[in-house]
Structure 1
Amino acid sequence: MSVEVSRVGASAAAQVLGVIRTAFEARPTLDPPADALAETEETIAAELRAYGGLLATIDGNPVGTLLFRPTDDAMLLRRFGVVPAAQGKGVAQRLVQGAVDSTLGYSALAVIAREELPATVGFWARRGFAQTERRSPYIDMRRPLPTSWEANDADDMRALGERLGRSVRAGDVVVLTGELGAGKTTLTQGLGIGLGVRGAVTSPTFVIARVHPSVVGGPDLVHVDAYRLGGIDELDDLDLDTSLDDAVTVVEWGAGLVEGLAECRLEITITRALADEAVDAELDPRVVHARRVTG
Structure 2
Amino acid sequence: MSASLSVRRVGPESAAVVLAIVQEAFGSRPPLDPPADAMSETVASIATRLALGGGLVARVDGEPVGALLLDAVGDAVYLRRFGVLPAAQGHGVAGAMIQAATEAALAMGRYAWLRVVAREELPRTIAFWARRGFVQTDRRSPYVELVRPVPAVHEVPTAEDMRALGARIAQELRAGDLVVLTGDLGAGKTTFTQGLGQALGVEGSVTSPTFVIAREHASTHGGPELVHVDAYRLGGAAELDDLDLDTTLDAAVTVVEWGEGVAEDLAESRLQVRITRSATPPSGPDDEVDPRLVEILRLGPRWARA
Taking structure 1 as the reference length, the TM-score comes to 0.51
**Distance in 1, Cα, partners of 2:294 & 2:87:** 41
Q: Which runs of 5+ in 1 are unaligned?
A: 154-281, 290-295
Q: How do 1:175-190 and structure 2 match up within 5 A?
A: none
Structure-1 residue corresponding to 2:149: 144
**Distance in 2, Cα, partners of 1:285 & 1:3:** 28
The correspondence for 1:47, drawn from 49, 64, 67, is 49
Structure-2 residue corresponding to 1:101: 103
User: Offset of 1:288 from its aligned partner?
Assistant: 10
1:221-252 per-residue CA deviation (whole Å, 9 max, x = no partner) reads: xxxxxxxxxxxxxxxxxxxxxxxxxxxxxxxx
**Distance in 1, Cα, partners of 2:89 & 2:7:** 15
**Distance in 2, Cα, partners of 1:58 & 1:137:** 33
**Distance in 2, Cα, partners of 1:30 & 1:75:** 25
Question: SS where residue 36 of structure 1 aligns?
Answer: helix
Residues 1:126 and 1:285: Cα distance change in structure 2 (over 3 Å): same
User: Offset of 1:285 from its aligned partner?
Assistant: 7.6
Taking structure 2 as the reference length, the TM-score comes to 0.50
Q: How do 1:90-239 and structure 2 match up within 5 A?
A: 90-104=92-106, 105=109, 106-152=111-157
Question: RMSD value over aligned CA atoms?
Answer: 2.3
**Distance in 2, Cα, partners of 1:151 & 1:67:** 32
1:14-33 per-residue CA deviation (whole Å, 9 max, x = no partner) reads: 11111001101101111111
**Distance in 2, Cα, partners of 1:149 & 1:16:** 34
Query: 2:64 is matched by which residue type in structure 1?
Result: P
2:82 counterpart of 1:77: no
**Distance in 1, Cα, partners of 2:35 & 2:66:** 21
Runs of 4+ more than 3 Å apart: 282-289
Structure-2 residue corresponding to 1:58: 60
Query: 1:118 is matched by which residue type in structure 2?
Result: P
Residues 1:152 and 1:28: Cα distance change in structure 2 (over 3 Å): same
Question: SS where residue 7 of structure 1 aligns?
Answer: strand
1:255-278 per-residue CA deviation (whole Å, 9 max, x = no partner) reads: xxxxxxxxxxxxxxxxxxxxxxxx
Question: SS where residue 105 of structure 2 aligns?
Answer: coil
Q: What percentage of aligned pairs have identical amino acids? A: 55
Query: 2:28 is matched by which residue type in structure 1?
Result: A
Question: SS where residue 102 of structure 1 aligns?
Answer: helix
Structure-1 residue corresponding to 2:39: 37
Q: Which runs of 5+ in 2 are unaligned?
A: 159-287, 296-306
User: Offset of 1:147 from its aligned partner?
Assistant: 3.5
Structure-2 residue corresponding to 1:10: 12
**Distance in 1, Cα, partners of 2:151 & 2:88:** 30
